[in-house]
């Protein structure tokens, strides 16, 4: 498996674990280098998705892994804090 395929597999697994809220497996992905600051096609980040679906344990893991993700903006200019207070 080449490095690009491995990287894409890690990203897909990270989103899968986010959706089903398996926080221990999500933590393992972060420990193996999954990027907490990755953005989807509309600029949404895993932190934004966690806030939307109220997976606060995973949100905390993401922030502990990379505190700067709190300032990331989606394609509409919203940050995770905007989403948290419902201003989107």
Q: Which of the four pLDDT bands, split at 50, 70 and 90, describes residue 34?
A: confident
How does 6-29 read in b/e, with b if 16+ C-beta sit within 10 Å?
eeeebbebbbebbeeeeeeebbeb
Q: How many domains, in total, are found in the chain?
A: 1
Higher pLDDT, 18 or 57: 57
19-23, 35-39, 43-47: least confident range: 19-23
Higher pLDDT, 25 or 43: 43
Structure-token match 């894409």, residue found: 8
CATH of the domain at 76: 1.25.40.20
Give the structural domain span for 32.
3-84
């Amino acid at each position: 498996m080449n490095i690009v395929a491995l990287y894409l597999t890690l990203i897909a697994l990270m989103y899968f674990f986010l959706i089903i809220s398996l926080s221990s497996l999500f933590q393992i992905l972060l420990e193996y280098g999954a990027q907490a600051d990755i953005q989807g096609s509309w600029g949404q980040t895993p932190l934004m998705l966690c806030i939307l679906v109220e997976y606060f344990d995973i949100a905390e893991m993401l922030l502990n892994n990379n505190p700067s993700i709190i300032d990331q903006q989606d394609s509409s200019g919203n940050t995770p804090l905007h989403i948290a207070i419902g201003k989107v």
